[in-house]
Amino acid sequence: MHVPGRMTGKHGESGTSTKTHKTIHLFRKGLRLHDNPSLVWALESSRVVYPVYVLDRIFLEGALRTGALRWRFLLQSLEDLHIQLAVLGSRLYVVQGRFEAVLRHLIAKWGITQLTFDVEVEPFYARLDEDLGAMGKELGLSIHTCVAHTLYNVSRIVEVNGGHPPLTYKKFLQVLSTMGEPDRPAREITAQDFLNCPTPVDASEEFRVPSLEDFGIVVESEVLWPGGESHALKRLEKHFESQGWVANFSKPRTIPNSLLPSTTGLSPYLSLGCLSVRTFYHRLSNIYAQSKNHSLPPVSLQGQVLWREFFCTVASATPNFTCMAGNPICLQIGWYEDTEALKKWRTAQTGFPWIDAIMTQLQQEGWIHHLARHAVACFLTRGDLWISWEEGMKVFEEYLLDADYSVNAGNWMWLSASAFFHQYTRIFCPVRFGRRTDPDGQYIRRYLKVLQNFPSRYIYEPWTAPLEVQVEAGCVI
């Protein structure tokens, strides 16, 4: 039996399901129907189910630092989810307001007896889960949760490692080797599920997915990464058409300044849960099983998924993970406080064309190659400006479509040599590194129009060009 207000499910207390509940299924990050075990539970244990997304703008723009491009991606993902639910005879209820207040109103209005949702690892979601548990106990609700945003229950990884997180990737893989393969994805959800457990469809305007215009948000850049589960699955299938590319993928061999992504480009969809990480992982396993030779972690595609899992695990058990102060794994470094230099880095005005081209792409598209991220992070921190990684993390969190609490902070600590990695002398030169893979500077020409007529010889160091060359190119340094 469920205990009111207790978190139950596969990774908590077990329970038996009978179709007696009126359930709200809370979508938070897992904005998808495939591999959604908590929604499957809701459908199998309820008379009616209300799929709900609480759009708490204060939370999204405060704790999550959601910028304009991320807002567009989120709203597109919600609209896509609403359409997928409608195809199955249901709908998505989007409600705006503070999380707990909104839920209390809906629970009373609809006579709700059960909440279902996925477990998250970020501290602000953990606090929210505690609040939901307390509210459930107060109101006599059953609460059922499942792990679906990570491959494993990260708390279990920490437990197997003796109660503390593994702090090296090698140790992390050793721990996983004792735990077996991740769970298979949950079963498919069909229209029959919603015939057996219908959603009372209310066409009221108050529950629609809002638009950018509703929030006064203006985004003029082209949509290169449309949000939503349907787009995630199409992108997945497109990449998996080339099984040889998948089997032989090696991340260091991808190109940081390619005009087209040389990686899968699935990270935004994994971050928001439009694509299941377990589905991705097991599809990769199937391809690897058919290949005599394939790349291995840490550089393989499966290795990239495990890097994500590594950072989620460490973040879940490390206090103040996104800060230097009070963070037990982070070196305490006397970074400079230089607001002018930080502003120039953020706004692509450093004067180094390759760095500025990367930051321009970030602002316009919400995505940059992982090696490009390495370059601008190194430039901001230990390489050139000696500004705290926390400042760079905040900028990435605002702009990146794949911004993720654990992965973003973990990578910034790594790249600034504050944690995980301490080879301080390995620096990304802001001139030579980009020139090595794009000697003609086509990437710079695309994102820095002011330099599009510059000769290739000078495009990475325009200040070295003779004045007459600068005049002829239409850009005098």
Q: What is the CATH number of the domain that holds 357?
A: 1.10.579.10
Domain boundary, last residue among 124, 148, 172: 148
d(CA 302, CA 295): 9
pLDDT digit string (tens) for 340-375? 999 999 999 999 999 999 999 999 999 999 889 999
Residues 343 and 375 in one domain: yes
* Residue 297 confidence (pLDDT): 59
Sheet holding 114-118, edge to edge: 7-8, 142-146, 114-118, 21-27, 46-55, 93-96
d(CA 470, CA 455): 9
In whole angstroms, how far apart are CA 137 and each of 6, 68, 113, 143, 146? 7, 37, 11, 9, 19
Asked if residue 239 has pLDDT above 90, the reply is: no
Residues 154 and 136 in one domain: no
| 6 φ, ψ (degrees, to nearest 5) | -90, 140
Asked if residue 403 has pLDDT above 60, the reply is: yes
Q: Which residue has the tokens 């991808």?
A: 254
The least confident of 28-42, 103-117, 211-225, 239-253 is 239-253
Comparing C-alpha atoms, which of 413, 362, 140 is closest to residue 370?
Answer: 362
* 215 within some domain: no
Residue 197, CA atoms < 13 Å, CB-side half-sphere: 25
Confidence of residue 286 (pLDDT cuts 50, 70, 90): confident
The least confident of 103-107, 243-247, 421-425, 465-469 is 243-247
Residues 173 and 295 in one domain: yes
* Average pLDDT score over the chain: 91
Instruction: Classify each residue of 323-353 as buried b or exposed e, where b means 16 or more C-beta atoms within 10 Å of its C-beta.
Output: ebeebebbeeeebeeeeebbebbbebebebb
Domain boundary, last residue among 101, 131, 148: 148
CB 215 within 8 Å of CB 262: no
Range of the domain at 376: 339-473
Residues 173 and 291 in one domain: yes
d(CA 426, CA 116): 47
189 secondary structure, DSSP code: P
Q: What's the CATH number where 251 sits?
A: 1.25.40.80
Q: What's the CATH number where 48 sits?
A: 3.40.50.620
Confidence of residue 258 (pLDDT cuts 50, 70, 90): low
Residues 171 and 144 in one domain: no
Binding site as annotated, residues? 263-267, 304-311, 402-404
Write the single-letter amino acid at 435.
R
* 202 within some domain: no
Residues 282 and 360 in one domain: no
Residues 138 and 155 in one domain: no
Residues 238 and 279 in one domain: yes
Q: What is the CA radius of gyration of the chain?
A: 24
Residues 264 and 386 in one domain: no
* 120 within some domain: yes
d(CA 236, CA 296): 20
Average pLDDT of the segment spanning 232-251: 76
Q: How many residues does the chain have?
A: 477
- Record the tokens describing residue 122, joined without a space: 């970020």
pLDDT digit string (tens) for 155-199? 999 999 999 999 999 999 999 999 999 999 999 999 999 999 999
The least confident of 289-298, 303-312, 365-374, 398-407 is 289-298
| 357 φ, ψ (degrees, to nearest 5) | -65, -40
* Residue 170 confidence (pLDDT): 95
Residues 350 and 391 in one domain: yes
Residues 133 and 51 in one domain: yes
Binding site as annotated, residues for FAD? 263-267, 304-311, 402-404
Which range of 225-229, 240-244, 290-294 scores highest in mean pLDDT? It is: 225-229
Helices 370-378 and 405-415: angle between axes, nearest 10 degrees: 50
* Parallel, antiparallel or unpaired: strands 21-27 and 114-118: parallel
* Residue 59 confidence (pLDDT): 82
Instruction: Classify each residue of 162-196 as buried b or exposed e, where b means 16 or more C-beta atoms within 10 Å of its C-beta.
Output: eeebbeebeebeebbeeeeebbebbeebeeebbee
Average pLDDT of the segment spanning 297-320: 90
* 263 within some domain: yes
Residues 6+ apart with CB under 8 A from 94: 52, 53, 55, 78, 82, 207, 208, 209, 210
Comparing C-alpha atoms, which of 319, 340, 311, 404 is closest to residue 65?
Answer: 404
Domain boundary, last residue among 317, 349, 373: 317
Residues 155 and 140 in one domain: no
Write the single-letter amino acid at 269.
Y
* 301 within some domain: yes
* Residue 423 confidence (pLDDT): 78
* Residue 13 confidence (pLDDT): 36
* 324 within some domain: no
* Residue 244 confidence (pLDDT): 64
- Apex CA 54: angle with CA 72 and CA 270, to 5°? 50
The number of distinct structural domains making up the chain is 3
